[in-house]
């Protein structure tokens, strides 16, 4: 009888180990890890078929309450990606935010697609709680048709507090 109890307890213990943890819904999936020198060596525009692609990134922290709880003060990045002429044929996939010697990289979520007008807007959420007004440098990753990621450096910025939308 004692062997049966030990055997059942062991089976139940190992069955419980297969439990998966759900990803944080407030956090974007991570971007590939790249070194700061690699990121900072990125050009500030991409040229393809005569079109020039540019990106501007804004880094915010949100201190406003969220549904069902306290504020989520983690950083998030807003990316405005555009082409100089014509329809946008590429989409940004990743953003890396550089704060001193630290880097936060995340996959972008496409929020607004106006590719017919030459731009898209995307966000990444769940970044570090870096201080407001600190300087940051940002880089956007844009895949080509083969899946290779091309880096695009954005103008330098500072971390701002997200204004209330009321």
Q: Is 156 exposed, middle or buried (0-12, 13-18, 19+ CB in 10 A)?
A: exposed
* Lookup: tokens for 79: 């990316």
Sheet strands (E) in the chain: 46-48, 51-61, 75-83, 94-99, 102-107, 109-114, 119-127, 135-143, 149-153, 157-161
Size of the chain, expressed as the number of residues it contains: 166
Q: Looking at domain 27-161, does it have CATH number 2.60.40?
A: yes
For 52-111, write each residue's pLDDT tens digit. 999 999 999 877 656 665 556 677 888 888 888 767 888 899 999 999 999 999 999 999
Q: Taking the model in full, what pTM does it have?
A: 0.79
Domain boundaries, the chain: 27-161
Q: Which candidate, 11, 123, 22, 132, places its Cα nearest to that of 78?
A: 123
Q: What is the spatial distance between Cα 52 and Cα 82, in angstroms, rounded to a whole number?
A: 8
The answer for 100, left when phi > 0, alpha when psi is -120 to 50, beta otherwise, is left
pLDDT band at 11 (very low <50, low <70, confident <90, very high): very low
In the predicted structure, residue 12 carries a pLDDT above the cut 60: no
């Amino acid at each position: 009888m004692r062997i049966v109890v030990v055997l059942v307890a062991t089976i139940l213990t190992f069955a419980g180990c297969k439990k998966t943890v759900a990803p944080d819904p407030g956090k974007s999936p991570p971007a590939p890890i790249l070194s700061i020198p690699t990121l900072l060596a990125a050009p500030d525009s991409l040229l393809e078929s005569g079109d020039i692609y540019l990106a501007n990134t804004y880094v915010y922290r949100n201190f406003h309450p969220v549904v069902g709880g306290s504020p989520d003060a983690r950083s998030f990045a807003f990316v405005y990606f555009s082409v100089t002429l014509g329809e946008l044929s590429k989409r940004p996939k990743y953003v890396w935010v550089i704060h001193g010697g630290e880097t936060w990289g995340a996959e972008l979520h496409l929020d607004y697609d106006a590719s017919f007008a030459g731009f898209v807007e995307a966000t990444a959420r769940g970044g570090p709680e870096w201080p407001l007004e600190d300087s940051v440098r940002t880089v956007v990753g844009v895949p080509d048709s083969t899946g290779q990621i091309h880096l695009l450096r954005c103008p330098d910025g500072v971390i701002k507090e997200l204004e209330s939308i009321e």
